[in-house]
Amino acid sequence: MRSLVIASAILLSLAVVEAGNQTITVSGITACNKRRVQAEVTLWEQGNEKLASMMSSKEGFFEIRGSEDEKNSFNPYLIITHTCNVKKKGCKRTSRYPIPRKYIGGRYEMTYVSLDIVVKRDKEKC
């Protein structure tokens, strides 16, 4: 009986610890002007905490996964750093993509990510 109580307590504590761990997997293909391109893909958590980083393949494919031990809210987003439609050669542009909350704990398939679309919050650095 005592070992049953101890085993139950261990399983309960593992469940509590696991409940705070949230994950997200994001995949897609980076493209510029209808051509697949290589780009740096970084998964961040709100508050500027880097979860994972990678280069997409030469064909633009990426799959990135991250997890965070968040008890309250997990607000991940992607930053893609690339050279698509930059103003000057040698410059890089960063584009931010929010991840909808409904995909947390699962997979967010972005399909084609059109980097040629410049939005207000994009930043260019030379």
Domain that holds residue 83: 23-125
CATH of the domain at 82: 2.60.40.3330
Q: Is residue 9 part of a domain?
A: no
Residue 41, pLDDT above cutoff 50: yes
Tell me whether residue 16 is in a domain: no
Pull the structure tokens for residue 17: 């610890």
Domain-embedded: residue 115: yes
Give the pLDDT confidence score for residue 9 in this predicted structure. 46
How does pLDDT run across 71-117, given as a tens digit for each residue? 678 899 999 999 999 999 999 999 999 999 999 999 999 999 999 99
- Give the pLDDT band of residue 20 (cuts 50, 70, 90): confident
Residue 1 belongs to a domain: no
63 inside domain: yes
Residue 17 has pLDDT above 80, yes or no: no
**Rounded mean pLDDT, 49-57:** 97
Please indicate, yes or no, if residue 45 is contained in any of the structural domains. Answer: yes
Nearest to 81 by CA among 70, 67, 68, 91: 91
80 occurs within a structural domain: yes
How many structural domains are present in the chain?
1
List of E strands, the chain: 21-32, 35-36, 40-45, 49-55, 61-69, 76-82, 92-98, 107-114, 123-125
